[in-house]
Chains A and B, each alone.
Chain A
Amino acid sequence: MLLILEQTLNGLQYGVMLFLIAAGLTLVLGIMNLVNLAHGSLYMLGAFFCAWVSLETGSFLLGLAAALPATAAVATAVELLVVRRLYARDHLDQVLATFGLILFFNEATKILWGARPLRLDPPALLGGTIEILPGAPYPAYRLMVILVGLAVALGLYLLVTRTRLGMLIRAGASNREMVGALGVDIDRLYTVVFALGAALTALAGALAGPIYAVEIGMGESILIPVFVVIVIGGIGSIRGAFVAALLVGLTFVWGRAFLPGLFGRLLDASAASTLGSAVAAMAIYILMAAVLVWRPRGLFPPHG
């Protein structure tokens, strides 16, 4: 029972992180119609900025505070130099050009910070555990990640539904020509959305630092589950991304924790652990296939 609780919290923690990354990517996909493979590179940059500043200053909070604007600045430069020229291109060109960006960012990161993973410690205050139920300690840091993720989700919801920028974002997603015709500076809107998405991703990267390794390639390994989230949620839907992120996070963590055991009741030990871990590794893709057979355009398709 305690194990289930712990794994559920782990799943939520992974899920909100996926959401932070997916939110920016799904906006960029939905509004600018841009496949950005390099979104994972921004996640990696966020983690590296945070780890680097933390190491230099000894403060995780300073690292976090530096990572968001620094990554957003890099993203703005990338948008102005490269990405902007890709909006009108087909998805194939976008895939290739942003693949080129990944190669560039991975190598640049290697040159700047070396090939070895960086160490990032959680703030001392959150280093311990909190007893969520009597006899059930849980790492305080992970709990904080869940809370931050939920708070950002709420903030993003309010931003999109209650503010002028949010209104423009929604309008841009449904009909960008019309928004442009009404006198909105589309180019600037796109740059802002791209940078906003980058900042959210950098937040995820910085928060992920103390839990996972801050290393080159971390962006690519998270990018694929994020795509799964976006496809399940429906391309361009933030609400869909939120629901799908939690679903994928829980499926992934529960699968890894419980499937080998479940198979163990049916098969002998070694076959069970092999098959169990294989099926657990495939679980989120099976989930995606199932959702797509049921609803080919995801759970919350934004355009009707």
Chain B
Amino acid sequence: MASRLLRDHADGLLLGLAFLAWPAVAFGFGLEWSLDLAARILIYALAASALNLLLGYGGLVSFGHAAFFGAGAYTVAILAYHDFLLGPFLLFGLEIPGTSNAWIAFPLAVLVAALLALAIGALCVRTSGLYFIMITLAFAQMIYYLFVSLPDYGGEDGLSLFARSELAPLDLDVDLAFYYLCLALVFLVLLGKAAVVRSRFGWALMGIRDNERRITALGLSPYRYKLAAFVVSGALTGLAGALIANLTEFVSPAFLSWPLSGELLIIVILGGMGRLYGPLLGATAFLLLEFALKETTEHWQLALGPILILVVLFARGGLAGLLRRPGERSGHG
């Protein structure tokens, strides 16, 4: 049993160990700057994992996940902004103070993203295919333009955080602590996802992906399952957003923009759709590639674009698919 578990999850364990050990390597060889990049990889992996739940297991291509990422980031930033500078919110005559406490701000970021996903999802999951892609995209753009036109919260220029959130007893201003927080959250989300995929909910979701009519015939409501997956996916993406706001200590409408939705999709595809560790692998590969290209040339997008096209055309199944030994069953999960 244990050996089977080890074999099935060997690639994931290896990747996990590499991330666990990376800070030691970084500090040993004077590469402290790389912790920032590694934390960014983990955060993107978290968001892409959330997207993978929808895409890989639910078959729903959301091209609007930047909305939830940005919503999480802005929730943390706006709460901190009110705490430091703007004073309490005035809501129906009530004074509600802002906060820099992560124990409050992070769950709120998740909640805001979840509610947004509920509102958007309620409309979107009625549709499918092409319509679903374009409608999720359009709603994300709507949120983007909403924030661009809110001068109180920086408009196009964005908002700076004055410090990272307080997560007593951890001190997130210490890069190492922040890095391990990200790693722990990625681990928890992957663990949760593994459990969800094996649950009744996961089976129903994959059943809907493969044959919606049959699931309906079994007496389940595809709409509810898809909406639930959409909300969970949005909420987790919001958590990633809360982390990215803390990493960069700055939020801007770029976190809500559609190229970010595109990047998350690329990460999922690159890592291998519907595979547990795919997003972590994909985020590592994509962000390292982007970093390497940026270091080499000013015109890195000229190279990145064709690379993406080549990956789509020739590397089906993503990196996780390539890493799998030939002949092995390429099942989902």
Give A residues with C-beta under 8 Å from B.
29, 35, 37, 82, 85-86, 89, 91-93, 95-97, 99-108, 110-111, 220, 224, 227-228, 230-231, 235, 274, 277-278, 280-282, 285-286, 288-289, 292-293, 296-297
Contact = CB atoms under 8 A, between A and B. Distances in A.
B137 A224 contact: yes
A235 B55 CA distance: 22
Interface residues of B, number: 44
A103 B305 contact: yes
Nearest to B141: A224
Contacts of B269: 92-93, 96
A278 B149 contact: yes
Contacts of B300: 107
Contacts of B133: 35, 91, 95
A96 B131 contact: no
B299 A111 contact: yes
A231 B305 contact: no
Contacts of B150: 274, 278
B61 A100 contact: no
25 contacts: A29-B130, A35-B130, A92-B269, A92-B273, A93-B312, A95-B63, A96-B269, A100-B307, A100-B308, A105-B305, A107-B305, A108-B302, A111-B299, A111-B302, A227-B134, A235-B131, A280-B149, A281-B148, A281-B149, A282-B142, A282-B145, A285-B139, A285-B141, A289-B123, A292-B127
Contacts of A281: 142, 145-146, 148-149
B21 interface: no
Given A92-B269, A281-B145, A285-B142, A292 B305 contact: no
Nearest to A106: B301
B266 A104 contact: no
A104 B306 contact: yes
Interface in B264-313: 265-266, 269, 273, 299-302, 304-309, 311-313
Given A91-B130, A108-B302, A224-B137, A96 B308 contact: yes
A228 B138 contact: yes
A277 B302 CA distance: 36
A231 B131 contact: yes
A96 B219 CA distance: 35
Interface of B: 55, 61, 63, 123, 126-127, 129-131, 133-135, 137-139, 141-142, 145-146, 148-152, 258-259, 262, 265-266, 269, 273, 299-302, 304-309, 311-313
B139 to A, nearest CB: 6
A86 to B, nearest CB: 8
Contact of A101 (B127, B131, B148, B309): B309
Nearest to B147: A278
Contacts of A101: 305, 309
A132 B312 CA distance: 53
A91 B138 contact: no
A39 to B, nearest CB: 13
A277 B141 CA distance: 15
Main secondary structure of the interface of A (DSSP, over half): helix
Contacts of A224: 137-138, 141, 258
A53 to B, nearest CB: 24
Contacts of B127: 292, 296
Contacts of A29: 130
Closest 9 A/B residue pairs (Cβ): A104-B305, A100-B308, A103-B305, A281-B145, A285-B142, A107-B302, A107-B301, A100-B309, A103-B301
A95 B266 CA distance: 9
A292 B135 contact: yes
Nearest to A102: B305
A274 B312 contact: no
A296 B131 contact: yes
B71 to A, nearest CB: 15
Contacts of B302: 103-104, 107-108, 111
B265 A292 contact: no
Contact of B135 (A95, A99, A231, A277): A231
Contacts of A111: 299, 302
Given A35-B130, A103-B305, A231 B138 contact: yes
A201 B145 CA distance: 24
Contacts of A220: 258-259
A296 B301 contact: no
Contacts of B305: 100-105, 107
B272 to A, nearest CB: 13
Contacts of A288: 135, 138
Contacts of A280: 149
Contacts of A278: 145-146, 149-150
B309 A231 contact: no
